[in-house]
Structure 1
Amino acid sequence: MKTIVITGSTDGIGKLASLKLAKDGHNVILHGRNVEKLKKTVSEIKEQSGNENINSYIADLSDINSIQKMIAEVSATHTKIDVLINNAGVFKSSAQQNKDGLDLRFSVNYFAPYLLTKGMFPLLKNSETPRIINLSSAAQSSVSIEALKGKEILTEQMAYAQSKLALTMWSFSFAKDNSDMITIAVNPGSLLNTKMVQEAYGQHWSSADKGADILYKLAVSERFETSNGKYFDNDQGSFNKAHDDAYDQQKITVLLSETEKILNG
């Protein structure tokens, strides 16, 4: 059985995928930012799956200190992670920026997965078959470095699309540097019936199950054990080409250099 971390697992496709994995008997590590909601989700999943191996951790993924605290807590209680699913995402929010002045979408959708993967890297290395699943999107747009730094204010849609491309660019680079792991970026499906989509658009095209199903398969199916550094487009139901910038080494180098400066600044 695998030890699987899923961020943003108190709602939507993260919660549904967690239940599917729990039903298989995996050791599932849930994440949320609301204590009561997380507690309720843990008891629901335990009850519905009959699996007691459900752990949970609280973190505000827009806050670097909170992320580091979660990394320390997971590392203190687990010796390995087989699968890390960076699922948590934000589109609309009451605040445009986090306390460090960075756009909330870049913070949660890109910086948080970057930090979590880096922080849990030693635990992933302890797995025989480590996988990292990063939640991209059909919405991908060229990254403004000024916006990344919080110096340029974007619309919610633009910030979201840029944060998802940043995540995809980094995913490809990370995959190249760590060929002993499987790193996959995935568009789980456009306009799935989730809270985030309803808040953003007020409508949906497909059920949330469609997204949960592909996360489940990407996490454990043998079909994907040689799919390192690829982009799965669940609108098409197959691997596809991401935005051109995700293959532009010069742009990737600049993005990662600026990311390190921002996070270590």
Structure 2
Amino acid sequence: MVKTILITGATDGIGKHLAKKLASEGHHVILHGRNPQKLELATQEVRAVSLRGRVSSYLADFSNLEDVYRFVGEIKRDFQSIDVLFNNAGLYAGKERKASAENVELTFMLSVLAPYILTTELSPLLEQSSDVRVINTSSYMHRFAKVKDLDFGFENDYNPGLAYNNSKLYTIWMTRYLARDFFLRGSNITVNSYHPGLISTNLGNNSSDEQTKKSLFGRLMKSFSKNLDEGIETGYYLTLAEEVTGLTGYYFDDKKVKAVSEKGYTFEKAQKLMNYCQEKIDLFKEKQDV
């Protein structure tokens, strides 16, 4: 069955490689990127291997909420249904804390807030599918998160490594929360997260900080990374495998459900995370109304 699959962060690494594989099998792939030149190149590469030539692309900078909502509006305008939303865009930031206009730390913005907005705003399109899947890219690095006072935005004691690790933990919390919420509302949307493995990508290169690129994170990515064919296996599995149908709220690694590092998880903490996201959204919308 041909599916319509939206992949964010599709101009590099996992996102682009997965898009090429899915397009080569005849699926309609929707690419997202923030750099116009890289997006054009990725679109050409994916289209060149597409079995049916059904490749779409959209430009948006997810560090800017106005761009996130513009992107959502364009997808709603151009599509009546989406089968898979693959939230893959991410960031490993520099040593200095950077934030959006709403004071959302950018690592959190790309890993948690933008996927939350896309999932909730695009849910009417997703619910048109009989087998709809939302896939959130987390990481094994969530095990090294340090949750302190639920400072989601790292407004105190910012650390780029912890910001990344915590964002991947919060991705799992968000996944659990949304899976539960959709289930209780009788929605057919399933939401799962996964660890793609250590893969050498341009993630750390999003930072202009040379120290970050040479950090332990960067060296690990280069030294112990999988190749991209291996790196997309679990994401590809979650996108299409029949045995995943109906499963929701889980964390996957190597195509299997795996236990997560709880880090004191409770539903109440997940609710606070979602409240934080909604507060930032409300702040943004208030500014738009002025």
Is contact 1:172–1:246 with CA below 8 Å preserved after alignment? no
After superposition, the CA RMSD in angstroms is 1.9
Partner of residue 102, structure 1: 104
**94-103 or 174-183, which moves further after superposition?**
94-103
Q: Secondary structure at the match of 2:235?
A: helix
CA distance in 2, matches of 1:142, 1:259: 19
- Is the aligned partner of 1:204 residue 2:211? no
Partner of residue 131, structure 2: 129
CA distance in 2, matches of 1:256, 1:184: 17
Letter in 2 for 1:231: Y
**59-68 or 175-184, which moves further after superposition?**
175-184
Is contact 1:168–1:246 with CA below 8 Å preserved after alignment? no
5+ residue gaps in structure 1? none
Structure 2 residue aligned with 1:242, among 260, 269, 281? 260
Matches within 5 A, 1:76-91: 76-91=77-92
- Is the aligned partner of 1:216 residue 2:220? no
Is contact 1:169–1:246 with CA below 8 Å preserved after alignment? no
Is contact 1:90–1:196 with CA below 8 Å preserved after alignment? yes
- Is the aligned partner of 1:170 residue 2:174? yes
Partner of residue 195, structure 2: 187
Deviations 1:117-170 (A, max 9, x none): 111111101111110000011111244466424522421110001111111101
Is contact 2:104–2:280 with CA below 8 Å preserved after alignment? no
State the identity as a percent. Answer: 31
Q: Aligned residue pairs: how many? A: 262
Is contact 1:147–1:153 with CA below 8 Å preserved after alignment? no
CA distance in 2, matches of 1:246, 1:16: 35
CA distance in 2, matches of 1:42, 1:164: 28
Partner of residue 40, structure 1: 41
Shift of 1:94: 8.0
CA distance in 1, matches of 2:180, 2:264: 12
5+ residue gaps in structure 2? 206-212, 284-290
**254-263 or 212-221, which moves further after superposition?**
254-263
- Cα pair distance change 1:95/1:197, threshold 3 Å: closer
CA distance in 2, matches of 1:49, 1:172: 34
CA distance in 1, matches of 2:119, 2:149: 22
Partner of residue 262, structure 1: 280
Partner of residue 154, structure 1: 158
CA distance in 1, matches of 2:56, 2:180: 31
Q: Secondary structure at the match of 1:134?
A: strand
Q: Secondary structure at the match of 2:56?
A: strand
Q: Secondary structure at the match of 1:28?
A: strand
Deviations 1:82-110 (A, max 9, x none): 00000011113486313323211011111
TM-score by length of 2: 0.85
